[in-house]
Amino acid sequence: MYLFNSIFEKDFNLNKFFLKFVFFVSLLIISINFYEWLIERSYYEYSDWLINYQGGFTRRGLIGEFLYILYSITTIRLDLLVYIFVMSLYIFFFYFLFKILDKAKLNFLNSLIIFSPLSFIYLATSKTLAGRKEILLFLLITIFFYKFEKIKFENVKYWLIFIFLLTSLTHFGFVFYFPFLVLFFIFFYYRQTPKSIIQQMLPVLIAGLTICFSLLYVTIYSKPDISLLCESIKEFTKQCPEETYVRVFTYSFNDIFKIINKFYINNYIIKYPIYYVLAFAPIYFALFNLKDGKNFKVKYLILILIASTFFTFPVFFLGADYGRYIQWQYMFYLLIYLKVIQLKLFKFKGGNLIINSKIPLILFCLIIFFYGFFWSVPHCCEKDFSFLFDKIFFKLIN
């Protein structure tokens, strides 16, 4: 059988039908999970989308206000609108991500990269991530990188402002991930004059600072009228604000820090660096095995990725969902990596990067399968130390 034939690593090529199958199954699982959260009126996964501006301008409310206006005009149930809207985001995200991957050479190393537990499959393997707001960010940046080389230099700023506006007014934490886009823009267009780059980035900076200061102002000094906000969505929640994400707006920064501090006793500082290394290992290995192109240096690409990662650190101080925050980083790494490979800015140094000798094809498939599908990263708050296959192992021996 072909699966048992021995091949070199350089000859491995992922079957696109299998990739389509994984996409389909992931989308199916997410749709079922999010439907369950909607029926349960879940605190985090569902009610976060209901936050709107009916009680005044507030963070996280842009999409909720749009859906509420649509509900007012059409009289379609708000919970149904939320489900249709969120699942549409997933469908388009998977569509554009597949379009990107369809152009990529999915060798053994790249297959490990796209099936990392922090890649798109994380949205399906962790039920508590189904329907969370990062899908909006993922969709927008996937479209951006899909069309990147076709966007004129002077028009990139409009894309960046649009993405920043839509995402930051939906989830303030996305603000800290914006340097990935800005620094990649500077990296790609380094041959432009400093004056030209500044002219393009200045409107982005002004728009970004305006939005950030506005959100900080309403967070500290001008909080929304919770009663009016709850009145607008009371038919679609269990009890507002007590059993919805709206309740967070009643917390002070001290309250938030007290909640977050409770989780640091759960081996956070030990677990998540380990998860990070294991999940990012293939993509870092690939980056360090790229050779410089005619006009681009690999070291500069790695530096902008690492620098952008440091800019995200405030999110880890303001929240406890470390698995989610690390995945947001990974999706930027993945899309930037795929883009530079697709544009042939860099090439690999050699044919066989990991395994030099021939091995059975099925062994390559099993390595990818076990690495990508047999362990995951807890998105938040797990009390017991969890590491790779321990849960499966204990189930087998008990």
* pLDDT value at 206 more than 90: yes
The residue-averaged pLDDT of 155-165 equals 96
Least confident of 108-112, 249-253, 371-375: 249-253
Phi (first) and psi of residue 47, to 5 degrees: -65, -20
Average pLDDT, the chain: 89
- Residues 50, 44: Cα–Cα separation, whole Å: 11
- Residues 344, 183: Cα–Cα separation, whole Å: 19
Top pLDDT among 21 and 381 is at 21
**pLDDT tens-digit series, residues 306-348:** 999 999 999 988 888 999 999 999 999 999 999 999 999 998 8
Question: What is the domain count for the chain?
Answer: 1
Top pLDDT among 386 and 129 is at 129
What end-to-end distance do the CA atoms of the chain give, in Å? 36
Domain that holds residue 8: 2-397
Burial class of residue 10, CB neighbours in 10 A (0-12, 13-18, 19+): middle
CA 67 from chain centre, in angstroms, equals 22
What pLDDT sits at residue 393? 47
The residue-averaged pLDDT of 189-203 equals 93
Query: What residues pair up with 347 in beta bridges, in sequence order?
Result: 291
**H-type alpha helices, the chain:** 16-40, 62-74, 78-102, 108-114, 122-125, 134-147, 156-168, 179-188, 194-220, 226-233, 253-261, 268-288, 298-311, 313-318, 322-342, 361-373, 390-397
**pLDDT tens-digit series, residues 259-302:** 777 776 667 778 889 999 999 999 999 999 999 888 899 999 99
